[in-house]
Homo-oligomer: A and B are copies of this chain.
Amino acid sequence: MAKDFIKREENYSEWYNTLVERAGLAENSAVRGCMVIKPYGYAIWENMQAILDKMFKQTGHQNAYFPLFIPKSYFEKEAEHVEGFAKECAVVTHHRLKPKRNGEVGLEPDPDAKLEEELIVRPTSETIIWDTYRGWIQSYRDLPILCNQWANVVRWEMRTRMFLRTAEFLWQEGHTAHATKEEAIEESKTMLDVYADFAENFMAIPVIKGVKSPNERFAGALDTYCIEAMMQDGKALQAGTSHFLGQNFAKAFDVKFLTKENKLEYVWATSWGVSTRLMGALIMTHSDDNGLVLPPLLAPLQVVIIPIAKAEQKIKVDKVALKLKEELEAKGISVKYDDREQYSMGWKYNEYEFKGVPIRITIGARDLENGLIEICRRDTLEKQQQGLENLAARVETMLADIQKNLYNKALAFRNARTIKVDTWEEFTQRIEEGGFLLCHWDGTAETEEQIKKETKATIRCIPLDADKEEGKCVFSGRPSHKRVIFARAY
């Protein structure tokens, strides 16, 4: 076990921060709220990007790139949108520095280089993109437009945490334009399905698909669909959102098209995004008191092979190790043979365990004489001695099994902490323990706000598959027709 590493139950928040830094995922930078994503963390993000990008392309989307800066006046055009983002945005006011006028050493913004109109560093790109789409769309023949961009965005959050909430973060944002309302709604649901597929089948994180209450909607959306995951402390984490934007941005930016019937109509829109926040979800769903645990499908390194051999035996061990490495690589599995002599076996064990490498294989000279190696899986920490025959195939199977096991474990955890709550007394007790509370809600913003005020719990979503069920609001007692999910959230 890693030395000096804090346990989850001691201080979950400190456990997370320490893990992120010590596993080489990220660190805080000198710029307030901005992080440095370190090579190992970035390699995981690259794996996520590659899979998502492929999924986007398979569903007909293309990548493009839009400007980092948004003129202030654009930002102002959609009323709810600006209300949602104006309070936490980075504002560029000058385009030059010059030596300080008071004679002190150093530079200051040059007053002669003040911008006529301030530029906002994009917190999201609806406005600049819809301004661009106006030039791309004349008739129904130009629709749909299915664009995505991979980009950095800035939201000046006051309280930041690496990956979960940072002033600058990396994300993808899809922005699509459609001829009909139905098509736009279908697109936003399709992308929600893509996100759920990715979360469950690659990140091994079970998610609940739902729709946000009006209070929690994206600023400017008519509906915000979301996937919600549960972390190991029982808190919810919104892992991805897909917005049906109606004609709000088309109206704000005057984007109309000629229908087949030769009528001029406003275009329908969606936007959808996931960000480096997913890294936080990944870490907090699977990792344990020994460090990071990674699902094999996202691990930068899937298998590490470590030799134990004195000089004269090393050649034999090398031979077996390198053959195995080759066989695994032929199956598309990433493997490292770490036979560095300046690091001890103990150091290596700790290192790869802490970094969440799914499988560790130890090849010892003595065991090898009996035709055996040791294989250890990171998810359960189980060790087994195994023979060499068909080893590569068994490793491949074990990787698939680890992937499945992580998902099942997370699902069992979530299911055990998802409970129906019908009284306010039980609500106030249960919410302290974490988890998802399935409750009736009267559908009003006032009740939602009051519950948030008293318990810090919010409506995470109204599940898409919620059964119709008559009941009474857990807070107000007024009638309700289905249960929603309340939880405290990241």
Contact B31 A70 (CB under 8 A): yes
Contact A89 B93 (CB under 8 A): no
Which of A128-136, A264-272, A316-324, A420-428 is found at the contact surface with chain B?
A128-136
Contact A39 B95 (CB under 8 A): no
Contact A98 B86 (CB under 8 A): yes
Interface string of A83-114 (1 = CB under 8 A from B): 00011111111111110000000111100000
- A69 interface contact, C-beta 8 A: yes
Chain B's nearest CB lies how many Å from the CB of A253? 10
Contact among B29, B42, B93, B119 for A31, CB-based, below 8 A:
B119
Contact A68 B109 (CB under 8 A): no
Interface majority SS on A: helix, strand, loop or mixed?
Answer: mixed
In chain A, positions 41-75 with a C-beta closer than 8 Å to chain B are 42-43, 45-46, 62-75
- A204 interface contact, C-beta 8 A: no
Chain B's nearest CB lies how many Å from the CB of A449? 23
Q: Please, how many angstroms separate the alpha-carbon atoms of A42 and B150 in the complex?
A: 11
Q: Which residues of B contact A147 (CB under 8 A)?
A: 39
Q: Which residues of B contact A36 (CB under 8 A)?
A: 64-67, 132
Closest to A342 in B: B141
Chain B's nearest CB lies how many Å from the CB of A151? 8
- A37 interface contact, C-beta 8 A: yes
Max count, chain B CB within 10 A of own CB: residue among A31, A37, A95, A151: A95
Chain B's nearest CB lies how many Å from the CB of A21? 10
- With A86-B96, A91-B95, A94-B93 already in contact, the answer to whether A69 and B39 are too (CB < 8 A) is no
Contact A131 B89 (CB under 8 A): no
- A244 interface contact, C-beta 8 A: no
7 smallest beta-carbon distances between A and B, as pairs: A39-B62, A34-B67, A37-B65, A91-B94, A86-B97, A95-B156, A31-B67
Chain B's nearest CB lies how many Å from the CB of A219? 14
Contact B107 A121 (CB under 8 A): no
Interface string of A125-153 (1 = CB under 8 A from B): 00010011001000001000001000110
Contact B93 A109 (CB under 8 A): yes
Q: Which residues of B contact A73 (CB under 8 A)?
A: 106
List, sorted by A's number, 26 A–B pairs whose CB atoms are closer than 8 Å.
A27-B132, A31-B70, A34-B67, A36-B64, A36-B132, A42-B64, A45-B65, A67-B168, A68-B168, A75-B97, A76-B106, A82-B97, A86-B96, A86-B98, A88-B96, A89-B96, A89-B97, A90-B95, A90-B119, A91-B97, A92-B121, A93-B93, A93-B94, A95-B156, A97-B120, A109-B118
Chain B's nearest CB lies how many Å from the CB of A23? 14
- With A31-B128, A121-B92 already in contact, the answer to whether A64 and B37 are too (CB < 8 A) is yes
- A170 interface contact, C-beta 8 A: yes
Contact A62 B89 (CB under 8 A): no
Contact among B42, B69, B86, B92 for A65, CB-based, below 8 A:
B42
- A154 interface contact, C-beta 8 A: yes
Chain B's nearest CB lies how many Å from the CB of A208? 30
Closest to A99 in B: B86
Q: Which residues of B contact A37 (CB under 8 A)?
A: 64-65
- A478 interface contact, C-beta 8 A: no
Contact B39 A72 (CB under 8 A): no
